[in-house]
Structure 1
C-alpha cells in the first residue's frame, strides 16, 4: 500500500461506519429487523439478497415490508422458513429494479437476518447450463445484519470524499414524516449540514461526497457524520471506490451507524501480511478510533494470537473530538499473523476494524462488540461454488470460502459448539472447538465436507463469553469478500443440532465431454454429475490413473479438468470425492496429436490451462485497455509475436510479457464476442469480451 496516501486517509478515511451493537438498544427482540441500505439498480450491477437463519424447531413466518426511495408502495410479502434452516430471498424477485430500497422484516419467532449485496457488470444468472446473458462478475460485495429498532441519533466515525464515494442511507419505518439533519465535520473542524424530510415508510440517500468533495483535498478528505431526527429512523453508510467499467465501482463496504460509545471494543478478526509469507493477496489491518468527548483520551489496543499468546500492545492518544488509529503494519510482531483485538480506555469511545487486500481493490470493515456473549447467530455462510454466481465465459468461478474467527477474551478456555443449518430445513452439521483463554481460533467450513457447495446459517453456543465474526471470500486469490460481526443472542434461546445431520451427498457422474483428446494432454474436459465436493480437499480427478493437470469443482454438479499426457487408446476416468471413488470405464480416448478431436488441438500446439481477461466489459466504441494473462505448466504461449482478435478484429497491442499481453479493444457491436490469442499462426488461448 502506497504511503502517498496519508495514514489519516488510509486508516481513518478508508474504514466503514459502525453498526449498532445490540447492547446499545438493550436485549434484541430478534423478531423485527430493519435495514436502511439496499439496491437492485441494474445499471450498477447491484444484486441484493436477504438471508434468514431460523434456529427454532418449528417453522416461522417472516413478512417483508419494503420502503422504496422512489416512493412507490409495495405490498408486503410473506415467506415460511423451515425449522433449523437457512433461507435466501432475492430482493429483485419481489421489488424489481430499484435504485434504493429499505426493508423491515417481522417474524413470528426469533430469527437472525442479514443483507448481502454484490455488484459488477451484470446480474445473477438463472441456474441453467449454457446461459449466455450478461452475468455479474462479482467484483465486490458487502454484508450486514439488521437492527431491531430505530434511533433519533446515529454516529458515523468514518467517511471520505476523494478516494472513496460515500453515501448515507436513512430509512423511516414509521407512520409520520421524519425531519432528518445530517451533519458532516471534516478534519479541519468545518461543519456542513443537510436537512431533508424523509416521508413515512420510505428511504432517502444523502451523498456527502458530492457536498464535500469540492472543498476537500487528498490526504485531508476525511469526515465524520452525525444523523439526528425528530423521530426514530435507521441510518447506514456505504463507501465505494475504484474505476471499473461499466459500473465504476471496484470495492465497497457498508455498515450501520452506532448510537452508544463504549469503554471497550472487541474484535475476533485481524490479519496483517499473508499467512503464507510472500503470497498474494497480502492484507492490511487498521484499528480505527474516535474520541467523541471534549478531552483527550488514551486508548490501549492489544493483539492476541493462538494458544493464549499476546502478540503486542499499543497505546494511542486521541484528541478531543478527533480520530486516531493503529496500522498493524507498523507493529512488527503482527506481520504475517492472524489475531484478535481488544481496544479499551477509561472513558467511552468508538472503535472499528478495517481490512484491505490487493492494494485497496477490496476491503471489509466492522465495529467491534462492546462485550462478549455466550451465543451468537449468523444467517449468511457459503462454501464452494454455485451456478447462480458463475459466468460460463469467465475462467474464475467465484467459489466461496467462509471463516468464523472466535475470540475468547477471558482467562478460562471456552468450549464452543457451532450448529450449521443448511437450506431446506432441519438438516445441518454440528461441530465443537476449544478456544484457549485470551486467544483467537478459527472455524473454516472448507474442512467440513458436509458443507461443500452449500449455503448455511450458523449458530454458536459457548460455555464462556466469546466474540464471533464471519468473513467470506470468493473468487480466485480472494478476489472479493465481506465480513460482519455476529448477532449476540440471549442465553435463554435454546440452540440444538438439526434433526437430520447433513451427510455428504452421494456423488455421481452422468456425462464426460469431450470424450477424446490428443496424447499431449491439455484437453478441457467437463464432468457432469451430482454431489461433488470441494476442489481443495478430498477431491481428485484421474485419467488412466494419472492425475489431471488442473481441475476445479465449479459447483456440486460440474468439474472441469485438464487432461494429462497419455498414450493412444481409451482410459478410465476416475473421480474421487466425498470419500467415494467413481470409476467410469473407457470414458476418454487419447488420440495421436494432429488428429481432429472435440476440445483437442489439431496441430499439437499447447493451449492455455487458464485464461484471465480483465476487464471483460467495455464500450462499443472501443479503446478499453484489456489485459490477457494465460497459464501453462511448461510453455510460453504469449510472446512478442502474439496477436489478439476481438470477434475477428485485430486489437492494437500495448505491452507484452511472457504469457501476458495488454491490448486496446477495437470497436464492436453490443454483445459478447470471442477473444482469441494467436501466436505464430496458432490459437493458444480463447476467452470472451462484452461490448455495451
Structure 2
C-alpha cells in the first residue's frame, strides 16, 4: 500500500514540473468571486472533486486522508475504508445515489453511509473515472507503476472487465464520456514507443482520434458535441473529426484540470506555466508558476483571477443547480468556490439601511396579508448563544399573539405573518427576545410584482420624519402608524411640500393597534411631499409609496431626529437605474445643504441646495455622476435636516428606497437576504473616511455562520458585494459587516415575480 501511494505521489510531482516550488506560500486576498470553503480541508491537497446534484453535496478526494463532503457550510470526513488513501478520482452515479472513488488501492463505492471495496481486477491506482448513466457502467483507468500494467476497465455493478484493446500498454490519465453518441474518450501515452493521443471507445473497440494531441485531462460538452483536452500546451477541442487549438492566453500552459458549465456554455481550466519561475539548479528546468483558473466562452480565454490566481488547480467540479464552480488546489490550500449566479428579471427590488446596535425589542409598523400581499418578518441572531424570540401582531382589532422560536447562535429565521393573521389589510409587528438581535420586514405585492423592505425601529418616539412621498403622476403615498402602548395615542400628521407645510389628519389610535393614512387625501397632485408624525405617546411611523397602478412600490421606516450629516450607501446611475436624493427641512429657518457623491473611482462634488423652512427638495444624482453603477451619497447641512434615497430602474417599473444614517460604525447588521432561485442580494458598503477601510463580511444562515469576503475599500468610495458569490442557493441569509474604520452598510435585493 505504501509503495503504491508513493508511486502515485511521485508521478503527480513529475507531471507538475516541480510545481510545489512554484506555489505562493500564502493565500492571496480573495477576489470578488472566489471564496475559500475553509474547514477541515484547508491544509490538504485536493486531487479530485465530484458534485452530487441530488443532495447538493460536494465530494473532495484528498492526497492522504480519503474523501470529505461539503454541504455548503461545513466539511465532514466520510471516513470508512478509504480514509487513509489518496483519492485521484471521483465519479457520482445519480441514478443509484452512489459515489465512486478511484483510490491508490482500487475503486470503492459509497452509499452515503459506508464505503465498500468493489474488488475485482483493479487493485491498482485509479487515476480517472467516468460514469455512463445510460448503460449503468463505470469506467476506470487502472495504473500499476510497480508491474508496469495499465488499461481501462468497466464495472457493471457486479464485476470488472478489462476493455483493453489497443490501449492495454498505454498510461492513461483521463477519461470523458459522451452520452449523446455512447463514446468513451481516453487520453493515452506510451513513453516506450513515444506515442500519444486521445482514443475513443464505442463499446467494442478503441480508435485513435488522431491529431497528435497529448491530453492531460478531458471534458465533454454535450450541448455542442465537443471534446476538450487539456494538454501540456493549452486546451484543444475535437468536433468528432478534427482537433483545433483554442489558443488564447494559455496556449503555452500545462492544463491539469477542466470542467464544463453547460448552463452558460463556459469551459473552465486549471492552468500552470512550466516556463515561468526561477531555474532549478539541479534539473535545469524552470520551477514554473501556477496560474489559477481561466474560462473559455467558445471564442476567447479570460483569467478568473481572485484568490486562486497563484494556486495549482488539480481538480474542478461544476454545480449547475446553483451556478458554482469548485476548485481543488494542490499544496494545501483546500477547496475554493467561484459563484456565477444568474441575474434575475429584477421584476421587483427592495433596499434597507443596516443597523449598528442589536436590541431586545423591535417594532415594524407596515404589514398586510390580504389581497395577495405577503409580509415576512426576518430575525437575525448575531450572538454566540441561542435567543428566545416571540412575535406579537397589532391589527385594527387589537393585538394577536404570534409565533415563538429558539434561534441558534449566528443564524437567521423567517416568519410568515399570514400563518397567524391571514387576510388582514393592516398588520404591525413587535418582536421581543431575551437577547439583543435584529429584525426587518419584507413585503411583496400580488404575484410579487413589487417588493418593499425596511429595518424595524428599536425605540418608539413621539416625533417621526418621513422624507419621501409623492401623490402625483400615478404615485400613492401612505403613512403607517403603530401604537404599541397599552393606552391610546393621539396622533397628528403634517405634510411638507416645496410650497411649505400643510396640516394633515389628527386621530386617536387605540392601544396595540395600527392605522394607515393616505397622504393624497390632504395633499393630492403633489410631486414632493414629506411627512411629520407627532404623537402624545411614543409610536412607530413608516411610509409606503406605490405607482403605476401598484405595479411598483417602496417603503421605509422614518427617522426621529433631523441631523446635520447623512450617509446613503446605495445608489446607481448605470444602465436604466435612476437615483434620487430627497432632503426634508423640518426647521423654521433656511437650510444650506451640500451633497457629495462617493464612487468606486473616488469622491465627486455634488450640488448645493437652499431649502426653505418646512419644505422638501429632490436631487437627481445622474445630473453630476451619470452612467455610474456604484454611487454613495453624503449630505451635509448647516441646519438639521432628513435625507432619504430612492432608486428606480427599467423605466420606473420598479424601485426601492431607504432612509440614510447619521453615523458610520465599525459593525453593521443586515437581517434580510436571500440567494435562492429568483432572488439576488447585494451588500453595499460606503467608506466616508480619508483613508482606506478593511472590511469583512460574515453571512448568517439557518445552518450557522459562513465567512464572506474581505476587501479594502478606498477612501471616500463605495464597494458592492454579491452575497450569492459566497452563499448561493440559500433562502435565509443575514449579513454582519465589520471594519477597522467606521463605514456605512446597506442591502439591496432583486427578484423574479411569481
TM-score (structure 2 length as normaliser): 0.51
Shift of 1:183: 2.3
SS across alignment from 2:388: strand
Distance 1:256 1:427, change over 3 A: closer
Shift of 1:224: 2.6
Shift of 1:226: 1.6
Shift of 1:19: 9.4
**CA–CA distance in 1 between the matches of 2:357 and 2:552?**
31
Distance 1:183 1:300, change over 3 A: closer
The reply on whether 1:365 has 2:696 as its aligned counterpart is no
1:265 alignment partner in structure 2: 566
1:419 alignment partner in structure 2: 698
- Does structure 2 retain, via aligned residues, the 8 Å contact 1:21–1:258? no
1:201 alignment partner in structure 2: 512
Distance 1:144 1:55, change over 3 A: same
- List aligned pairs for 1:561-576, cutoff 5 A: none
Q: Deviation string for 1:41-92 (max 9, x for gaps)?
A: 1x2x1001111111112211101111112x1442343111122111011011
The reply on whether 1:319 has 2:598 as its aligned counterpart is no
**CA–CA distance in 2 between the matches of 1:268 and 1:28?**
18
Shift of 1:190: 6.0
- Does structure 2 retain, via aligned residues, the 8 Å contact 1:17–1:156? no
2:538 alignment partner in structure 1: 232
**CA–CA distance in 2 between the matches of 1:378 and 1:37?**
18
2:667 alignment partner in structure 1: 375
77, 82, 87: which one aligns with 2:413: 87
Shift of 1:463: 0.7
1:38 alignment partner in structure 2: 367
**CA–CA distance in 2 between the matches of 1:185 and 1:414?**
38
Shift of 1:427: 4.4
624, 639, 643: which one aligns with 1:347: 639
- Does structure 1 retain, via aligned residues, the 8 Å contact 2:381–2:407? yes
**CA–CA distance in 1 between the matches of 2:688 and 2:496?**
35
- List aligned pairs for 1:166-177, cutoff 5 A: 166-177=477-488
The reply on whether 1:291 has 2:585 as its aligned counterpart is yes
Shift of 1:251: 0.7
- List aligned pairs for 1:611-626, cutoff 5 A: none
Shift of 1:330: 1.6
**CA–CA distance in 1 between the matches of 2:705 and 2:351?**
34
- Does structure 2 retain, via aligned residues, the 8 Å contact 1:28–1:148? no
**CA–CA distance in 2 between the matches of 1:33 and 1:118?**
21
**CA–CA distance in 1 between the matches of 2:676 and 2:351?**
30
- Does structure 1 retain, via aligned residues, the 8 Å contact 2:568–2:634? yes
Distance 1:313 1:204, change over 3 A: closer
**CA–CA distance in 1 between the matches of 2:433 and 2:501?**
44
TM-score (structure 1 length as normaliser): 0.56
- List aligned pairs for 1:483-494, cutoff 5 A: none
**CA–CA distance in 1 between the matches of 2:440 and 2:354?**
15
Shift of 1:156: 1.9
- Does structure 2 retain, via aligned residues, the 8 Å contact 1:17–1:257? no
**CA–CA distance in 1 between the matches of 2:657 and 2:573?**
14
Q: Deviation string for 1:405-433 (max 9, x for gaps)?
A: 11111122111111101124x24233311
SS across alignment from 2:561: coil
Q: Tell me the number of residue pairs that the alignment of Structure 1 and Structure 2 aligns.
A: 405
Q: Deviation string for 1:437-495 (max 9, x for gaps)?
A: 111111112322x43344211111111100011011112xxx7xxxxxxxxxxxxxxxx
SS across alignment from 2:500: coil
**CA–CA distance in 1 between the matches of 2:715 and 2:634?**
13
- Does structure 1 retain, via aligned residues, the 8 Å contact 2:494–2:501? no
SS across alignment from 2:436: coil
**CA–CA distance in 2 between the matches of 1:169 and 1:272?**
30
SS across alignment from 2:614: coil
Shift of 1:147: 0.6
2:713 alignment partner in structure 1: 435
310, 329, 332: which one aligns with 2:603: 310
Q: Deviation string for 1:231-286 (max 9, x for gaps)?
A: 1111111111112xxxxx20111112221111111121111132xxxxxxx00111
The reply on whether 1:254 has 2:555 as its aligned counterpart is yes
1:156 alignment partner in structure 2: 466
417, 439, 445: which one aligns with 1:113: 439
- List aligned pairs for 1:463-474, cutoff 5 A: 463-474=740-751
2:456 alignment partner in structure 1: 146
Shift of 1:109: 0.7
**CA–CA distance in 1 between the matches of 2:392 and 2:522?**
31
Larger Cα Rg: Structure 1 or Structure 2? Answer: 2
For the aligned residue pairs, the C-alpha RMSD in angstroms reads 2.4
Structure 2 residues not aligned, in runs of 5+? 1-348
Distance 1:358 1:320, change over 3 A: same
Q: Deviation string for 1:366-422 (max 9, x for gaps)?
A: 12110100000011111130xxxxxxxxxxxxx111111111111221111111011
Distance 1:419 1:18, change over 3 A: closer
1:50 alignment partner in structure 2: 377
- Does structure 2 retain, via aligned residues, the 8 Å contact 1:20–1:259? no
**CA–CA distance in 2 between the matches of 1:65 and 1:73?**
7
Shift of 1:289: 1.4
- Does structure 1 retain, via aligned residues, the 8 Å contact 2:480–2:515? yes
- Does structure 1 retain, via aligned residues, the 8 Å contact 2:698–2:705? no
SS across alignment from 2:400: coil
Distance 1:105 1:465, change over 3 A: same
The reply on whether 1:456 has 2:733 as its aligned counterpart is yes
Distance 1:151 1:53, change over 3 A: same
Q: Deviation string for 1:318-365 (max 9, x for gaps)?
A: 22322223212221x432442221111222111111111111111111
**CA–CA distance in 2 between the matches of 1:64 and 1:32?**
10
**CA–CA distance in 1 between the matches of 2:614 and 2:522?**
22
Q: Deviation string for 1:576-615 (max 9, x for gaps)?
A: xxxxxxxxxxxxxxxxxxxxxxxxxxxxxxxxxxxxxxxx
SS across alignment from 1:33: strand
- Does structure 2 retain, via aligned residues, the 8 Å contact 1:312–1:334? no
The reply on whether 1:101 has 2:427 as its aligned counterpart is yes
